[in-house]
């Protein structure tokens, strides 16, 4: 029988404005506070949250995320879909805040709860793991590019070899043997 995992489920990390971010509702759930309380703490300490730490997504970004959710599947998309559905159906009235890795850590500092501190460390580790995975993928992509370059070079060399060998593969036609005897074209 499998043991139940005691580690918290990490919130889904999204890419918005080319930044890896976590939604305020997901971060609040991870820290064990209400989303409104998290957002209040952020507003009270706005000097600690520059635009590269946290920001409110635009309607266009919201629409883009909704279109991505519509075509994706799984529990994470269902959770996000339900979060955004509340924006349209009477629950949440404002567009959500999103937090980068540094913003998530800063949010834990302004919340000052023990769970927030523990979860912020956990979340930072998730961002570090994501960064390591991206670096690993980048190394693999670079290696594939090197291999592709070598294959192109080899292809050029091989086509030159084939071009030079082609005359040897196709022997010249046999010369016409002179006909011996009397023939109409032999006068």
Of 118, 79, 119, 126, nearest in space to 101 by CA = 126
Average pLDDT over residues 92-110: 83
CA 20 to each of CA 2, 28, 177: distance values in angstroms, whole numbers, following the listed order = 33, 17, 81
Q: Mention every residue, 6+ apart, whose C-beta is less than 8 A from residue 33.
A: 111, 113, 116
Contacts of 93 (CB under 8 A, 6+ apart): 87
Contact 2, 113 (CB under 8 A): no
Predicted confidence (pLDDT) at residue 89 exceeds the cutoff of 60? no
Q: What is the pLDDT of residue 76?
A: 47
Q: What is the mean pLDDT of residues 88-116?
A: 78
C-alpha–C-alpha distance, residues 122 and 127, integer Å:
9
Q: Is the pTM of this model over 0.85?
A: no
How far is it, in rounded angstroms, from Cα 180 to Cα 56? 100
pLDDT band at 77 (very low <50, low <70, confident <90, very high): very low
Per-residue pLDDT tens for 11-63? 777 888 888 888 888 888 888 888 888 888 888 988 988 888 889 888 888 77
Please tell me the number of Cα atoms within 13 Å of 165 on its side-chain side: 7
Residue 69: pLDDT band with limits 50, 70, 90: low
Residues pairing with 54 in the sheet: 99
């Amino acid at each position: 029988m499998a043991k139940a995992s005691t580690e918290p489920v990490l919130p889904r990390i999204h890419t918005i404005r080319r930044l890896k971010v976590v939604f305020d509702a997901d971060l609040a759930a991870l820290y064990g506070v209400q989303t409104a309380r998290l957002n209040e703490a952020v507003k009270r300490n706005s000097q600690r949250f520059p635009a590269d730490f946290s920001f409110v997504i635009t309607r266009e970004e919201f629409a883009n995320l909704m279109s991505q959710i519509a075509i994706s599947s799984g529990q994470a998309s269902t959770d996000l879909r339900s979060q955004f559905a509340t924006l349209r159906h009477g629950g949440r009235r404002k567009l959500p805040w999103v937090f980068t890795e540094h913003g998530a850590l800063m949010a834990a500092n302004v919340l000052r709860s023990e769970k927030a501190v523990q979860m912020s460390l956990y979340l930072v580790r998730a961002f570090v793991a994501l960064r390591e995975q991206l670096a690993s993928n980048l190394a693999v992509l670079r290696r594939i590019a090197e291999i592709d370059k070598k294959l192109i070079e080899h292809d050029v060399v091989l086509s030159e070899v084939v071009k030079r060998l082609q005359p040897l593969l196709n022997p010249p036609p046999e010369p016409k043997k002179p006909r011996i005897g009397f023939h109409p074209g032999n006068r």
